[in-house]
Structure 1
């Protein structure tokens, strides 16, 4: 189920922008395993394009996957590349990119298109959009970085993600453990509204299993936080984690072998930036149109 039939161009419904910003600014030390796995599947999609890109930008490489970053460089050995991040120093250090060579040097999320020295042929954005409060602005920003006929490759969580966890929270009468995620059709619509053409969307479900509730929570802690605007608004007491673990062990979904399981719906998409249409220096009007305008002025 999608968040809404027509996604807002300004804000993703149900997400707290301040919580999203705090998550982005945390000093992430490594890339989540799930994000690396999704990125490896995205890499296979490079084969779909006739010509490999000669330049590319990796959005948020630490969360998007540092192993995937290295694989992408190996897959495109002759292409120029750069990283883009709200925390540029960390991203550059993690990818061993010398700061003076960077095309992108901003320190705020809403960077301008003129901050990039030259348009690129690929924007690579893995597992980022579902946690951004203003995805339309982010998509428009990526479009502005692209050269005509350049393309975006993206992935994010879809609405069936964390269904087992949401069921536990409902059973306990707790607020939702995460905001609602948009479906692939809404993302396709949003890509078009942001100025992309020919969006191709698909999805798959990955089910991960865990030997304990502790292991499940460790996975969740690595990939994100609860960004829902309707989440519990105060600090949890010391007994909260113990209650959560007990609830997961008692009510969590399990596979045939008894291991706890958690489903992630992964939405994939790619879209093209088409050349801007030049404005015509001439305007053609029919004789009937001219007569109608003259009659309107006289009236």
Structure 2
């Protein structure tokens, strides 16, 4: 089971969700069926349910503790009337979305970071969406934790980061596996920490720490603790990747769409 810190802080998810939410202003047709492909402490549902109050939500995540944490936050915010009449997202303990092409939107805030086959995930996202359905997602790029990685390499710690993916590679995966007009972009976020414990807790909440593959995690933690104790490290950089795309229409072999346009009048 993937565990969370005792008191998880969802500020990274909140930052990413808010950035993605700003891009929804361009949508003309509100989605009716929205799939949340990863729980994020209620940050995405809170924003999307305010923007689309009539939408129906489903939430999927194989990390049961993440689903539970999101539901606890939601229920704590409800008054007695809302508890009687509101419909919180139906939750499923799985990363596999239903491949029935029924969703108007798939929204995944850091849903890729704990999954080891991004192509399979992207294909599944496409299978869940209606033709011309919308995907919005966030992820971490390869320059994430560059200061920490440099420290570990200097100290002889080997760390593999297979889940940190370049935004251009993600764009290619989207285009090749179910989406047209994919758009990816990135920015850098620098955080300052005063101790290793808080840093590790935040990276665990984000799902990032669990994605790292150490030759010795115990030594890696010890080196971090020593580095913060001696002020050898303070800043931590995260490369934040954002993406969206439109689900391709899948036509039978030897067929093509026929479009009709109104004739112009003069």
Q: Same fold (TM over 0.5)?
A: yes
1:236 to 214, 218, 224: 218
Within a 5 Å distance, the mapping from 1:58-77 to structure 2 comes to 58-61=36-39, 64-77=40-53
2:227 to 240, 247, 253: 247
1:82 CA displacement: 1.7
More strand by share: 2
**Normalized against structure 2, the TM-score is what?**
0.77
Structure 1 pair 121–31 and aligned structure 2 pair: CA distance change class (3 A): farther
Give RMSD over aligned pairs.
3.1
Is the partner of 2:50 in helix, strand or coil? helix
Please state if 1:51 is matched with 2:37.
Answer: no
Does structure 2 retain, via aligned residues, the 8 Å contact 1:172–1:247?
no
2:238 to 261, 264, 269: 264
Aligned structure 1 segments of 4 or more residues deviating by more than 6 angstroms: 101-105
Within a 5 Å distance, the mapping from 1:214-229 to structure 2 comes to 214-224=197-207, 225-229=209-213
Q: Which runs of 5+ in 2 are unaligned?
A: 76-82, 256-266
Report the structure number with the largest CA radius of gyration. 1
Which residue does 2:59 correspond to in 1?
A: 83
Is the partner of 2:157 in helix, strand or coil? coil
Does structure 1 retain, via aligned residues, the 8 Å contact 2:179–2:246?
yes
Q: Which runs of 5+ in 1 are unaligned?
A: 1-21, 254-259, 282-299
Structure 1 pair 246–91 and aligned structure 2 pair: CA distance change class (3 A): closer
Residue deviations 1:93-130, cap 9 Å, x none?
A: 445599xx89977544445414xxx7111101011213
Which residue does 2:250 correspond to in 1?
A: 276
Residue deviations 1:158-179, cap 9 Å, x none?
A: 1111001001101211122744
Which residue does 2:12 correspond to in 1?
A: 34
Aligned residues: 241
1:136 CA displacement: 1.1
**Normalized against structure 1, the TM-score is what?**
0.70
Does structure 2 retain, via aligned residues, the 8 Å contact 1:179–1:226?
no
Structure 1 pair 162–87 and aligned structure 2 pair: CA distance change class (3 A): closer
Please state if 1:170 is matched with 2:148.
Answer: no
